């Protein structure tokens, strides 16, 4: 009985000896509850006193007392989370197709294991006018892909997963970098998809050179071969950006991007109508 109560009790807010998936899972669930209810109280008591909140690359001061995180509720159609026990951080992305308020938001959530509280939320929040934004498209393509658990014997190390992501980001600056392209591989940029469901689908369709992709922040989950990288997208004016990579056998299999455009629409770029998804990112 006592044991059951312990398991049912919230983990967040309790000092923990080590980071656990339960702790990270509860943090993402509370964050999602805030987003769907529009009520910051679901998370507020579980934030450290000096918790940092970064939205589209800007640090928001004083947010814990003013509930800057949200002022309205979102009708979330899908959320997807990964858990990094080494860094005690999660990444969760959510998609809202609600025509009145469409969104695609990716958040890295860091938990301080010693207090068991959320110490940082760093996120990219996109809506109409952001890079190739189309929430219906994002939902449609994201649900076609398998981002499930990878059997233990086939898992890549954190270093291999991170190296695959870094190689991809590095070719924007240096075309000689060798990228472990998987085959097939598909890119979902905003709501635009490069894949056609063919075994020959490739992610090697070109990038805009030659730019640095600086300020990379990583969350890595080896159990699913996924790394989230938040960064500044050099080739489109250092736009605040989220890249999510699925790596299988050391090779890139899926890449999802969210890019915030301060200068809407589409960061000032014109995409020809009916054009294939970009060859620029
Ligand atoms: C917000 O959530 C808290 C629980 O954390 C609840 O007590 C409160 O009534 C909620 N407020 C509204 C306006 O729903
Ligand atoms: C928050 O406070 C803790 C404990 O005082 C400290 O270790 C940490 O560096 C602070 N974090 C920030 C972002 O200021
Ligand atoms: C958004 O994506 C959906 C699904 O792929 C597609 O049917 C629709 O035409 C797209 N909308 C725009 C404005 O491109
Ligand atoms: C570009 O990448 C290649 C292959 O990794 C490397 O040998 C070379 O030093 C890099 N060039 C620069 C300028 O970093």
The CA distance from 82 to 88, in Å, is 11
In tens, the pLDDT along 128-140 reads 999 999 999 999 9
Is residue 249 within 8 A of residue 183, CB to CB? The reply is no
Mean pLDDT is lowest, of 121-135, 173-187, 264-278, for 264-278
pLDDT of residue 196: 93
The CA distance from 162 to 188, in Å, is 19
Residue 163 has pLDDT above 80, yes or no: yes
| Residue range 138-145: mean pLDDT, rounded | 97
Candidate of 189, 190, 191, 276 to mutate for ligand 3, largest count of ligand atoms within 8 Å of Cβ = 191
| Residue range 64-82: mean pLDDT, rounded | 79
Ligand 3 near 106 CB (within 6 A):
no
Rounded to the nearest angstrom, the distance between the alpha carbon of 50 and the centre of ligand 2 is: 6
Specify the higher pLDDT residue, 279 or 75: 75
Residue 70 has pLDDT above 90, yes or no: no
**Domains identified in the chain and CATH numbers:** 10-126 (3.10.450.50), 149-268 (3.10.450.50)
Pocket of ligand 4 (CB under 6 A): 174, 176-177
Residue 187 has pLDDT above 90, yes or no: yes
| Residue range 178-207: mean pLDDT, rounded | 95
pTM score over 0.95:
no
Backbone angles phi, psi at 96, to 5 degrees: -125, 115
Q: How confident is the model at residue 22 (pLDDT cuts 50, 70, 90)?
A: very high
Could you tell me the CA-to-CA distances from 39 to 13, 34, 71 in Å, in that order? 18, 5, 8
Ligand 3 near 128 CB (within 6 A):
no
pLDDT of residue 7: 42
Q: Sort residue 67 into left (φ over 0), alpha (ψ -120 to 50) or beta.
A: left
The CA distance from 95 to 137, in Å, is 10
| Residue range 170-196: mean pLDDT, rounded | 96
Mean pLDDT, the chain, as a whole number? 90
Ligand lying closest to the C-alpha of residue 47: 2
| Residue range 17-35: mean pLDDT, rounded | 93
Strands 251-259 and 181-189: parallel
Rounded to the nearest angstrom, the distance between the alpha carbon of 137 and the centre of ligand 3 is: 5
Residue 3 has pLDDT above 70, yes or no: no
The CA distance from 64 to 40, in Å, is 9
């Amino acid at each position: 009985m006592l044991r059951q109560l312990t398991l049912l009790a919230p983990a967040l807010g309790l000092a923990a000896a080590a980071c656990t998936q339960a702790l990270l899972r509860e943090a993402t669930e509370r964050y999602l509850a805030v987003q769907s209810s529009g009520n910051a109280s679901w998370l507020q008591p579980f934030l450290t006193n000096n918790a940092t909140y970064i939205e589209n690359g800007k640090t928001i001061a004083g947010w814990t007392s003013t509930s800057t995180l949200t002022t309205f509720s979102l009708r979330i159609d899908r959320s997807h989370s990964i858990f990094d026990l080494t860094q005690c951080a999660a990444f969760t992305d959510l998609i809202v197709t609600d025509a009145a308020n469409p969104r695609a938001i990716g958040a890295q959530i860091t938990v301080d294991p010693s207090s068991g509280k959320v110490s940082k939320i760093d996120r990219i929040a996109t809506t109409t006018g952001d890079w190739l934004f189309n929430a219906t498209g994002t939902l449609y393509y994201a649900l076609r892909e398998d981002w499930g658990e990878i059997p233990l014997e086939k898992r890549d190390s954190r270093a291999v997963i991170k190296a695959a992501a870094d190689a991809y980001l590095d070719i924007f600056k240096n075309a000689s970098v060798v990228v472990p392209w998987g085959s097939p591989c598909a890119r979902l940029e905003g709501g635009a998809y490069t894949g056609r469901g063919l075994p020959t689908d490739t992610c090697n369709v070109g990038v805009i050179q030659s730019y640095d992709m600086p300020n990379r922040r990583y969350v890595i989950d080896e159990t699913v071969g996924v790394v989230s990288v938040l960064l500044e997208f050099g080739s489109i004016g250092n736009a605040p950006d989220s890249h999510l990579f699925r790596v299988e056998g050391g090779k890139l299999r899926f890449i999802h991007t969210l890019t915030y455009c301060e200068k809407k629409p589409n960061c000032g770029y014109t995409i020809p109508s009916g054009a294939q998804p970009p060859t620029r990112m």
